[in-house]
Amino acid sequence: MSRKLSTVNRQLIMYNLDINFLNDRPDLLERQVQRKVAPTQNLDQTPILIGAGVALALNALVAGAWFIFHQQNVDLTKERDTLVTTLGQKTSEVEALDKINAETDQANKEADALATVFNQIKPWSALTVELGELMQVAGVKILDIEQTEPQLPAPGAAPSPAPSPADGQAVASAPEPETAQLKISGVANTFTQINDFVLLLNQSSFFNSEKTKLIEAKLEENSTQLVAKSETADSGMAKPQLQPVVKYTIETYLSRATASEMLTELQNNGALGLVNRIKTLEEKGVIKK
């Protein structure tokens, strides 16, 4: 036990000696203090300032670009809304204009149809005058006239397509509309009078010369009945024998010439009402001159 204490005492004595020995060296103490308190070195702040300036400039540039783009986006949005509103107004105006154009086209079609009806009319008053003059010139009699109207296409039926022309061939024109057919029946004294009557029909602008033809001509007994002037007349006197007559049937068609093309003939034959209507339609531009 005493040995352990003596060993501890020796160690304490040596530790105190070491401390004293260190305290006796001031240069070592000063070196340690200098290590603990190192002088502050002067650093160059220029790169830091440049970096900070560049960062601020980039941030300012991004902020300015964002503001410009945002303002442009706002302006474009306003312009788009204005264009959408204008487009809606223009669309309404276009629809109204299309409606007006459709109504105008319908009115024009109706006017053209009405003009076509008037322009295709050949009044019977004018035809009667024409046939009466031709009958007197030829020396024939007309006993009956039968008129047959052309067959119109069924409503909604599409017209048959025209065949496509072969190479080198001209395109065929659309067929002309059919006109009314007339069958004229009567009697004449000779076949020559009937031939003259057919020629006069061919020359008339009221009839189609290409479709005028003699259907029938035959010699028949004269059906005219002779009546005595009075009952006291000599009953034994023989009645004169009447010459036979030639009974004929002629087929013809009304001409395709329009009323506007036959104003002079219509006016000469007394169809003044139709002539005035055609002239009025021509003045209004419904019928082209």
> Same structural domain for residues 64 and 141?
no
pLDDT at residue 136 in the model: 93
Non-local (6+) Cβ contacts of 244 within 8 A are 219, 220, 221, 222
> Same structural domain for residues 72 and 211?
no
pLDDT at residue 240 in the model: 66
Q: What is the chain's pLDDT, residue by residue, as a tens digit (289 residues)?
A: 555 545 555 555 555 555 555 555 556 556 555 555 545 556 667 878 787 888 888 888 888 888 888 888 888 888 888 888 888 888 888 888 888 998 888 888 887 777 777 677 788 889 999 999 999 999 999 999 999 988 755 544 444 444 555 544 544 444 556 788 999 999 999 999 999 999 999 999 999 989 999 999 999 887 776 665 655 555 555 566 778 899 999 999 999 888 888 888 888 888 888 888 888 877 877 777 6
| Domain contains 70 | yes
CA distance 217 to 194: 8
Q: Which of 82, 101, 120 is the last residue of a domain?
A: 120
Q: Exposure of 93 by Cβ count < 10 A (0-12 exposed, 13-18 middle, 19+ buried)? A: exposed
- In which order are the strands placed within the sheet that holds 213-220? 141-148, 181-188, 245-253, 213-220
Residue 163 near residue 230, CB atoms below 8 Å: no
Beta bridge partners of 144: 185
> Same structural domain for residues 126 and 63?
no
In the chain, the amino acid numbered 59 is: N
Determine the number of helices (DSSP H) and then strands (DSSP E) in the chain: 7, 4
Total structural domains in the chain?
2
Q: What is the Cα gyration radius of the chain? A: 62
> Same structural domain for residues 143 and 280?
yes
Residue 140 near residue 186, CB atoms below 8 Å: yes
pLDDT at residue 176 in the model: 58
| Domain contains 33 | no
| Domain contains 26 | no
CA distance 195 to 172: 35
Q: Which of 80, 104, 120 is the last residue of a domain?
A: 120
> Same structural domain for residues 144 and 256?
yes
| Domain contains 205 | yes
| Domain contains 127 | yes
Sign of CA dihedral 76, 82, 84, 87: negative
Sign of CA dihedral 29, 33, 35, 39: negative
> Same structural domain for residues 101 and 140?
no
> Same structural domain for residues 86 and 184?
no
- Which CATH number characterizes residue 193's domain? 3.30.1360.100
| Domain contains 76 | yes
> Same structural domain for residues 113 and 204?
no
Residue 130 near residue 204, CB atoms below 8 Å: yes
| Domain contains 229 | no
| Stated pTM of the model | 0.56
Q: How many CB atoms lie within 10 A of CB 244?
A: 13
> Same structural domain for residues 111 and 74?
yes
Q: Which of 102, 120, 138 is the last residue of a domain?
A: 120
> Same structural domain for residues 192 and 95?
no
> Same structural domain for residues 140 and 80?
no
pLDDT at residue 16 in the model: 55
> Same structural domain for residues 116 and 127?
no
Degrees, nearest 5: CA angle 258-117-262: 20
Tell me 208's DSSP state: -
Can you give the residue range of the structural domain that contains 271?
A: 122-150+178-224+242-289
Q: Where are the alpha helices (DSSP H) in 121-145?
A: 124-138
For residue 185, which phi and psi values (nearest 5 degrees)? -120, 145
| Domain contains 281 | yes
pLDDT at residue 59 in the model: 82
